[in-house]
Structure 1
Amino acid sequence: MLASALGASAAEPASGEAASPGWILGKLAQPAPMATPFVEVRESRMLKNALRLSGEYRRPQDGVLVRAVRDPYVETTTIHAGQATIERAGRAPRTFSLARAPELAGLQDSFGALLSGDRAALEALYRLRSEGTRQQWSLELTPTAAELARRLQAITLYGQDAELRCIETRMVDEPKPQRTLLASAAEAAPAVVDADGLARLCHQGVASR
């Protein structure tokens, strides 16, 4: 299971050594099938209050990413072969190209390529830049393809040791980022009620770790 794999490094000794993109990708690579809980926080000029979604990400096989929302509604999005299919109870499934949803394309590119350890796939679409140490790191993915860059500003991944705990997506036309908390950060998120606290959880992780 991805949740246990992402947290497997908790027993590893702390290291002040710099975290390179290659080291981060090597630590995060995990074979399918796998799954991890998530909490997604959406802030937008169109929303009075931030929308918080919770559920599970699944990677049943290579090239397939499933986003199963369980609260505040039930919805399953399956991303595969350049398309996304959204399913809700009582409605016909809806399938569309990822070109219409760069945030989903970015999710597949970052999350999927990271878990498969495919650095070449990432570098074909993004410029990679890492910061921090192996104990506390970030990896920024800046799109280099013009079509993607028109809507997507950057994706920043935050982690501790071998745990990917947060994916922060910044769209060009939105002043605030969308954050997806994973693993230990997702487990801690229900106790955090304010946006600033969720941002700290994303950027700094769980204090007790």
Structure 2
Amino acid sequence: MTPCAAAADGSDAVDAAWILKGIARPVPASTPFVEVRASKLLKAPLRLSGQYVRPDADTLVREVRAPYVETTTLRAGEATIARAGQAPRKFALSRVPELAGFQGNFASLLDGDRAGLERHYTLSAQGSRQRWTLTMVPKDAAQAARLQSIALYGRGSELRCIETRTVGNAPPQRTLLAGAAADAAGVEAAPALEALCHGDATR
């Protein structure tokens, strides 16, 4: 089937089920990331780079390699944060519901668990199989009071960026993943990083 024919019969369109099936990754899995945190209190956005590792279905590890080295392990309702030269810090995820939610969301994404996500979010998909967006809007009123939306940007079966928008005027937080994280090497300007997240540019 030609691309034109595919577009004509709608087979190039995407929905949440197609996207989640494509980006699902069996464990063990890992992906590089570049996280950009903007703040009105900072002269320039804070940029972190490293990798996410999911060694098994119940564990998520976030390894920050620059501008400092830190490993956060989320497992069995507990978070462990380790830095070189310091004793590891441990605390219950119940104390930080944002971390617990992040672990659950990331696991659901990598499992392709649409039902799990739809228990907490309203999902809407836009775009084509070559360039798509999946937006997640929280259903819980308490969460919606803090979180406006989580938007996933990707190409084909590759999840390339997660953009989180909170309620209020705070700048969005963007996490470039996989190929987009690699493309971000040497890219410093905020507009260029935003374009990479949204799939508007490549290096």
The TM-score by the shorter chain falls in which range? 0.7 to 0.9
Deviation at 1:93, TM superposition (A): 2.0
Q: CA deviation at 1:192?
A: 1.3
Tell me the distance in 2 between the aligned counterparts of 1:172 and 1:97.
Answer: 26
Which protein, 1 or 2, shows the higher relative CO under an 8 Å CA cutoff with sep ≥ 6?
1
Deviates most, 53-62 or 106-115: 106-115
Whether 1:104 and 2:99 are equivalent positions in the alignment is yes
Q: Which residue of 2 aligns with 1:179?
A: 174
Equivalence for 2:17: 22
- SS of structure 2 residue aligned to 1:45: coil
Q: What's the secondary structure of 2:56's corresponding residue? A: coil
Question: 2:136 matched to 1:141?
Answer: yes
Larger deviation, residues 145-154 vs 61-70: 145-154
User: Does the 8 Å contact 1:188/1:206 carry over to 2?
Assistant: no
**Regions of 4+ moved over 6 Å:** none
Measured on the aligned residues, the alpha-carbon RMSD in Å equals 2.1
TM-score by length of 1: 0.85
Measure, in 2, the Cα distance between the counterparts of 1:92 and 1:42: 26
Aligned to 1:6: none
Q: Identify which of 19, 33, 39 aligns with 1:38.
A: 33
Q: Deviations over 1:48-69 (max 9, x none)?
A: 2101111010000002111000
Q: Secondary structure at the match of 1:191?
A: coil
State the SS of the aligned residue for 1:148. Answer: helix
Take 1:81 and 1:98, find their aligned partners in 2: how far apart are those partners?
A: 9
Equivalent of 2:108, from 79, 104, 113? 113
Counterparts of 1:21 and 1:75, CA distance in 2: 34
1:197 aligned residue: 192
CA distance in 1, matches of 2:146, 2:69: 27
Partner of 2:68: 73
Over residues 63-112 of structure 1, what are the superposed CA-to-partner deviations in whole Å (9 max), with x where a residue is unaligned? 21110000000001112234322111222222334455454344323322
Note if contact 1:166-1:182 (Cα within 8 Å) is conserved in structure 2: yes
In structure 2, list runs of 5 or more residues that go unmatched: none
In structure 2, do the counterparts of structure 1 residues 75 and 174 end up closer, same or farther at CA, with 3 Å as the change threshold? Answer: farther
User: What corresponds to 1:4 in structure 2?
Assistant: none
Name the structure 2 match of 1:169.
164
Shift of 1:147: 2.9
Any stretches of 5+ residues in structure 1 without a counterpart? 1-12
Equivalent residue for 1:155? 150
1:24 match: secondary structure = helix
**Corresponding residue number in structure 2 for 1:10:** none
**For residue 47 of structure 1, what is the aligned residue in structure 2?**
42
Q: Do the aligned partners of 2:195 and 2:201 also contact (CA within 8 Å) in 1?
A: no
TM-score, scaled to structure 2: 0.88
Partner of 1:5: none
Is the Cα contact below 8 Å between 2:23 and 2:158 reproduced in 1? yes
**Structure 1 residues 55 and 205: alpha-carbon distance in aligned structure 2, compared to 1, 3 A threshold:** farther
Q: Does structure 2 retain, via aligned residues, the 8 Å contact 1:29–1:115? A: yes
